[in-house]
Amino acid sequence: MEKALNDLIKISKKYKKQKDLEHLEVEYLSVFYEGKDFGNYLYKHLSPYFVSNGSSMGEKNKVYCFVLESVDDYEKYFVHAKKIKHYSPSENQVFQKAKYIISTDEDFVYDSQNHCIIYTNRDETIIFSNRLHYNQACKRVIRDELIYGLVQSQATPSIMLHSSCAVDNTGKAILICGDKWM
């Protein structure tokens, strides 16, 4: 499994160097992505959060969005990974993701619903998705980061309260409700 995940890290490094990536600044995130169409899609769906197009506001967490057509081939490596359940009140559904923790600073999440793999390390998030699900998968990760602040820097700590519930397979849960910044 670790070899396959290390291959994804190598692919991300290669893509960062070789791909001609577009760039947008969103709150405390620098988002790098493939294709101008995704920028328009992202702006349309997240416009309340956008600060500016391409300008810098100091240190930012980086988000890279890459197309990887073989993303679903990696699902088999997450069969025995920790399962994370998420309840969406708006859709009245329980969603499940698989999480593989490498260290306290690094982990991989496989989201079978959105056909994507999310790799996080310190101040960087890398999203791999196939072309068919790319826009929605990347937008959801960026939106969740903006709303819930999953990897926010300590300089801007805040918690967004929203109607949601996350339960892991040990029965431990986080219930979040409301819709105001605190």
Q: What percent of the chain has pLDDT over 70?
A: 71
Instruction: Report yes or no: 30 and 60 within 8 Å, Cβ to Cβ.
Output: yes
Per mean pLDDT, which range of 4-13, 40-49, 97-106, 159-168 is the poorest?
A: 159-168
Residue 45 has pLDDT above 80, yes or no: yes
Angle in degrees, CA 80, 141, 123, rounded to 5 = 90
Q: Which residues pair with 144 in a beta bridge?
A: none
Torsions phi, psi for 138 (to 5 deg): -65, -40
Per mean pLDDT, which range of 69-83, 123-137, 140-154 is the poorest?
A: 140-154
DSSP track, the chain? -HHHHHHHHHHHHHHHHHS--EEEEETTEEEEESSHHHHHHHHHHHGGGEEESS---SS-EEEEEEE-TTGGGGGGGGTTSEEEEEEETTTTEEEEEEEEE-SSSEEEEEETTTTEEEEEETTEEEEEE-TTTHHHHHHHHHHHHHHH-TT--TTS---B--SEEEEETTS-EEEE----B-
pTM of the model: 0.75
| Closest to 29 in 3D by CA, of 5, 58, 9 | 58
